[in-house]
Structure 1
Amino acid sequence: MDFLRAMDVLVICVPVFAVLGLGKLLGLKGRIKEEHCQFINWLVYTFSLPSLIFNEVARQRFDTFFDPAVIVMPLIGLVLVALITMVIAKFNGYKGGFAAAFVFGTFWPNATYIGLPLCQNAFGSEGLAKAAIYNGFVLPFVILFGYLLIGFYGAGDGNVKIGARIKKAFLNPILISAVAGVVVAVIAEQFRAADGSLGLPVPVVSSAVLIGSFLKMIGVMGLPLALLSIGASLKWEQTKTHLGALSWSVGCKLLLHPLFTMLLIGMMCPEASPTALGVAVILSGTPSAVAMYVISCQLGVERGFVSSMLVLSTALSVVTIPVWVYVLKGF
């Protein structure tokens, strides 16, 4: 084992999972209660992460956005994993909400709350920017696919129609901030000189820098707060049922999807940068998303099974993500 590479992995991963562990400890001690988690989630979802994503996306060159290694390859890997799992669900006779959760649990990543800090630690501001692009372009497809699976299997007992929920899901602060960042980047590109500098009046550039500093401060505070909230919300006792199906879904989420993503990039995007490869694989291998659990609760889709996926995948990702980071650091 390469000792220096192993130390890099520890520096990248330990802080993220240590904050998760601190959140769990504070939850057990009663210092972080359910109402605290609700407030943290509202603050992070509404202000912090949108500020962070907008700031990082708006600062990027427009020609760096549509990187197939970051956007297309994870989506192809996602579809492959989902199709395989749908065949397994058919073979085992899974139906309704359980079948839907069994399938979408294999690919719905926590690419925001856990993925952003991991990519920032691993690849700095460039990694954070690519992770923001992933959140802006891949996650909408994930949300749409998840809702389509719920409808396909005839699952859910919510009073609001699926179409209305999809519309609400797309009109969320995180997605809107990513789109707004792209718009600002496109406008800025019209004033960019050949050397990359912006040909704008000094007051405009200074104002942009000032606003960017404010947004960065608001955004950065959200990452540890989100990790604390996730840690405090985890309930380990919910992982005792449907172990076979649970093992497959979690295994796909943490191992098969990132493996497919890495192989697809190697075969179809051999010129991809190490940062693009690393961000795509890390985000594909993040544990199940809190949003997946929230939406499942809203629609009445196997809350217990989805909660078990969230808990088990988060716990096991403490092992799997450092392994992926170690492998990626070898490229």
Structure 2
Amino acid sequence: MNDTLIQMTLMMLCGAGWRLFSLRGLSADQTRLALTSVVYYVFLPAMILDVLWRADIGWQSIQFSALGCATIVAGLVLSWSIARLLKFKRPQTGAVILATAFPNVTYLGLPVLEQAYGSWSRSVVIQIDLFATAPLVFTLGIAVARHYGDAREDKTGSLLGFFNTPPFWAALLAVVLNLNQLVAPDWLMGLLQKMSAAVAPLMIFSLGLALSWRAIHWRNLPYILPVVGLRLALLPWMAWHIADAVQLQAPFKSAAVLDLAMPSMVLGVVFCDRYGLDSALYATAVTITTLLSLLSLPFWFGVL
């Protein structure tokens, strides 16, 4: 695990270095948008098709979904309770809830689990993302952002946007092909595997591009402490026991819980910008939880 995190850290530092120097006149935000768009629309759907076409889809998929959904809902309830208890203002409440409830299961979870457990863990990551995290992000996550945000626009859009995205359609196609036991030709499987190999390094580099020291402010510390405690400590512990409750067996239990122990997702900053939440607070949460995850992830890996 330590070797894996060293590799991930160096790749993130490459992205952070781009933010400092803006090579070829391209800013970090422009570069990140280009890279994440390519991953989202091309390489990630290819990986989803490659993995789910051959995955063992069945009862275990329901277990992954139950584990992911239960952990995320627990994060929503706990963070909302703390924000209400401490009387956070609405923009800060929305940012804290999003940063706490939704882990970075794909952008960081995928490369970490693949290095720690092997290529079979891709299926765990993708099923947790597609059957739990992504549907809740695009429904409950957007609902939270709308409720606590102060932006007037985009209040009437659909909460079901996830069901019209490239990853969803790739997953649907893969499940249909899988359940019908259709065998992919060697040339197609080879193509999908080569495209899949590009996902992890591009995601880690993009995560480095998203990290910003300028976003860290001492005024955000009272809001960040609950996020760190819940996101990196309490919620992984709860996921561990929920995995037992849904009878998820090793080694899938270890991989799934470690995936749900990831730091705050990067996508939430888009919701904060769009719906008028505290974007600086959210960016601080992403940066700090990502850096502290270099300590928390080896701990949970050892425990699991």
Tell me how far apart the structure 2 counterparts of residues 162 and 321 of structure 1 sit (CA, whole Å): 39
CA 1:265–1:55: 2 relative to 1, 3 Å: same
Q: Which residue does 2:11 correspond to in 1?
A: 19
Identity of aligned residues (%): 21
Q: Secondary structure at the match of 1:110?
A: coil
| Partner of residue 248 from structure 1, selected from 226, 233, 236 | 226
| Partner of residue 235 from structure 1, selected from 201, 208, 212 | 212
Return 5+ residue gaps in structure 2 as ranges. Answer: none
Q: Which residue does 2:137 correspond to in 1?
A: 142
Q: Secondary structure at the match of 2:22?
A: coil
Work out whether residues 253 and 287 of structure 1, in 8 Å CA contact, stay in contact via their aligned partners in 2: yes
Work out whether residues 136 and 179 of structure 1, in 8 Å CA contact, stay in contact via their aligned partners in 2: no
| Partner of residue 294 from structure 1, selected from 270, 280, 287 | 270
Q: Secondary structure at the match of 2:160?
A: helix
Work out whether residues 47 and 219 of structure 1, in 8 Å CA contact, stay in contact via their aligned partners in 2: no
Q: What is the CA-CA distance between 1:281 and the residue it aligns to?
A: 1.3
CA 1:44–1:158: 2 relative to 1, 3 Å: farther
Q: Are 2:123 and 1:120 equivalent residues in the alignment?
A: no
Give a deviation string over 1:289-317, Cα, whole Å, max 9, x none. 12111122122221111111111111111
Question: Which 10-residue stretch deviates more, 81-90 or 49-58?
Answer: 81-90
Q: Secondary structure at the match of 2:239?
A: helix
Q: Which residue does 2:96 correspond to in 1?
A: 102
Q: Secondary structure at the match of 1:66?
A: helix
Q: Which has the larger radius of gyration?
A: 1
Q: One-letter code of the match for 2:188?
A: I
Q: What is the CA-CA distance between 1:243 and the residue it aligns to?
A: 0.6
Q: Which residue does 1:221 correspond to in 2?
A: 198
Q: Which residue does 1:212 correspond to in 2?
A: 189
| TM-score, structure 2 normalization | 0.90
Q: Are 2:65 and 1:89 equivalent residues in the alignment?
A: no
Q: One-letter code of the match for 1:172?
A: T
Q: One-letter code of the match for 1:73?
A: L
Q: What is the CA-CA distance between 1:232 and the residue it aligns to?
A: 2.2
Return 5+ residue gaps in structure 1 as ranges. Answer: 1-8, 192-204
Q: Which residue does 1:28 correspond to in 2?
A: 20
Q: One-letter code of the match for 2:229?
A: G
Tell me how far apart the structure 2 counterparts of residues 299 and 133 of structure 1 sit (CA, whole Å): 28
Q: Which residue does 1:74 correspond to in 2?
A: 68
CA 1:242–1:162: 2 relative to 1, 3 Å: farther
Q: Are 2:243 and 1:305 equivalent residues in the alignment?
A: no
Q: One-letter code of the match for 2:3?
A: V
Tell me how far apart the structure 1 counterparts of residues 187 and 256 of structure 2 sit (CA, whole Å): 31
